[in-house]
Structure formats: C-alpha cells, structure tokens
Amino acid sequence: MPFFIYHPRYELKRGGHVFPVEKYRLLHDRLIAEGLVRAEEFLVPEPATDDELLLIHAQTYLQRLEELVDRPLAAIAEFEAPYPREVADAVRYATGGTILACERALAARTAALNLGGGFHHAFPDHGEGFCFINDVAVAIRATQASGLARRIAVIDCDLHQGNGTAFIFRRDPDVFTFSIHQELLYPLPKQQSTLDVGLDEAAGDDAYLAAMERHVPAILDGHRPELVLYLAGADPFEEDQLGNLGLTKAGLHRRDELVLRAARERGVPIALVLAGGYARRTEDVVDIHLATCRVMRELWG
C-alpha cells in the first residue's frame, strides 16, 4: 500500500501571500473526509537534521538562515517571503517528510507521498522563489548516503523549472533531472537539467501530455533509476496566478496517471511531493492535489 506523510506544522500562519500554505491542512482533511486515508495511517516525519541539510547546503548558508529568524522580514528580498521561526521549522519538517517518503517507498517497493515539499529553487548557498531548503536534493543525497538507492530520476512537473535541483546534480550522472515547465517564465536565466522541456505559454493539455509521453518512459528505460522522485505541481493549471500553461484538471490527472503508471509498470518505487500551485481559488489547488493522491492509491494501492 502507498504511504501518506503529513505534519500539522507544514501549515504556516502567513496571510496575504500567493502561496496557499493552508492547502496542506485542507488536503489532509479532504483525504480523511473522502475515505482515502484514515487519520492514523498518516506517517509523521521528524524534522531534517543539520547533518542531513549539510549534505546539500553550505554551513555558512544555514547559519545565515538561522540569523534571519531574528529579523524575518529581511528574507523577503532574497526569498520573496519572510523567514520567522515557524517557517524555519515548517521547512525542516517538510524536508524530513520528503526524506521519509523516499525511505518508505524504497523499503516497501511502493509509492509514498509527502503532503509538503518540492522546494526546488533552493541552491546550496542561497534560496529563491519561496524556497529556503531544497528538500528534494537533501532527500536524494540522504537516500544515496544511506545506501538505499544510488540511481534516482527527478520528474519535475512544476510550472517553473527546478533550477536549484538542476544545478545541484549537474555533475552527478546517477541523478537524472527532468523538468517540464513554462519557458518564458521565472527562473530566468535557467539552469541546465539533464533534460529540459520548455513549453510556450498556453501550450495546453495536448502539447504537454505529448511531451510527457515521449520523454518519461524513455527516461525510466534509459536511466533505469532505483527511485523516482516526482514533483506533482498544481501550477500548470489554467487558472494559476503565476503562469499560463493552460492545463485543465483532466490534463493534470492524465499527467499523474502517466508518471505513476510508468513507474508502476517498471517496478520502480516513487516518492511524490506537491510543489507549487497558485490558483485563484485554493479549492482548485486542493482538488488537483487530491486527484494526484487518488491516482496514486488506484495504481499503487
């Protein structure tokens, strides 16, 4: 059976920001209300340790983050978001959740979904775009360090290129980084992933899914990963406030089916994180993430 990972501290009390942090709690509650997951079935992560963060991030950067806790508004210029203690703690718990998702997926040869995570814009020595710690990269290095897996594929379907992740693994042939994103959109300039697919605005379902069908099976067959890490971003949605790739909910559902089925058919464990989603109605973001959870249960249940 697949695993679901959540901590109440994922949600931040931060009003007026485009990132709907309440989506974590709302998704958790919807999963229970619709009978997809019982409350006691959720795994609760521990916060990532300093040693785990240091697998990716420079000591000087972590020290600077700690100093920002005392003057959180100073973080806005770099991260586009403040960095009070509750944010610092939430990031650590979310990173621990992504590590746990990788561990459980590999141990049980199944799928595991972290209801947080996907902070793919963070670099070893700085953060960007709401991202302070790159939980995806930390989880990959922790997984490699533990000996659970060496060859890993990142399938990044957030609206924005996973520039931090691309940079971190640019010289590691064991980690295949794939990013499909809106091309003329933040981040600019972009880093180089192992494979980038930059789409024009208003690409829509057909162009997006054709690219996914062409590349995802080929990546899994060619790279032969021991683990897939899937960023199931909700922000390619047609009602998103930060971009306009123009995907429908049905198209995003088919995207999730494609990735999860490709991994399932090849027997490759898969860890999922939710990444971005900035629709005008938070309910739409939760609906999209809920559909991802439902597909995971159907294909890996």
Each residue's pLDDT tens digit, 53-77: 999 999 999 999 999 998 888 888 7
CATH code, domain carrying 149:
3.40.800.20
pLDDT computed for residue 15 by the predictor: 54
Q: Which residues of 47-82 are buried (b: 16+ CB within 10 A; e: fewer)?
A: bbeeebbebbbeeebbeebeebeeebeebeeebbbb
Tokens for 95, please give them.
């990173």
In whole angstroms, what separates CA 8 from the centre of its chain?
18
Quick one: what percent of the chain has pLDDT higher than 90?
Answer: 90
Q: Is the pLDDT of residue 79 over 90?
A: no
Question: Whole-angstrom Cα distance, residue 163 to residue 137?
Answer: 11
Q: Is the pLDDT of residue 16 over 80?
A: no
> What's the mean pLDDT in 25-32?
97
pLDDT computed for residue 121 by the predictor: 97
Q: At what angle do helices 249-265 and 204-223 cross, to 10 degrees?
A: 10
Residues 6+ apart with CB under 8 A from 183: 198, 199, 200
pLDDT computed for residue 24 by the predictor: 95
> What's the mean pLDDT in 240-249?
97
Question: Whole-angstrom Cα distance, residue 5 to residue 109?
Answer: 16
How many distinct structural domains can be found in the chain?
Answer: 1
Q: Which residues pair with 228 in a beta bridge?
A: 153, 270
Q: Give residue for tokens 């054709």.
A: 210
Domain limits at 235? Answer: 3-300
pLDDT computed for residue 7 by the predictor: 97
- Which residues are the active-site residues? 121
CB of 79 closer than 8 Å to CB of 98: no
Q: Which of 18-22, 30-34, 188-192, 285-289 is the least confident region? A: 18-22
Q: Is the pLDDT of residue 81 over 80?
A: no
Tens-digit pLDDT profile for residues 173-229: 999 999 999 999 999 999 999 999 999 999 999 999 999 999 999 999 999 999 999
The answer, as to whether pTM is greater than 0.85, is: yes
pLDDT computed for residue 14 by the predictor: 56
pLDDT computed for residue 138 by the predictor: 99
Question: Whole-angstrom Cα distance, residue 231 to residue 157?
Answer: 6
pLDDT computed for residue 13 by the predictor: 61
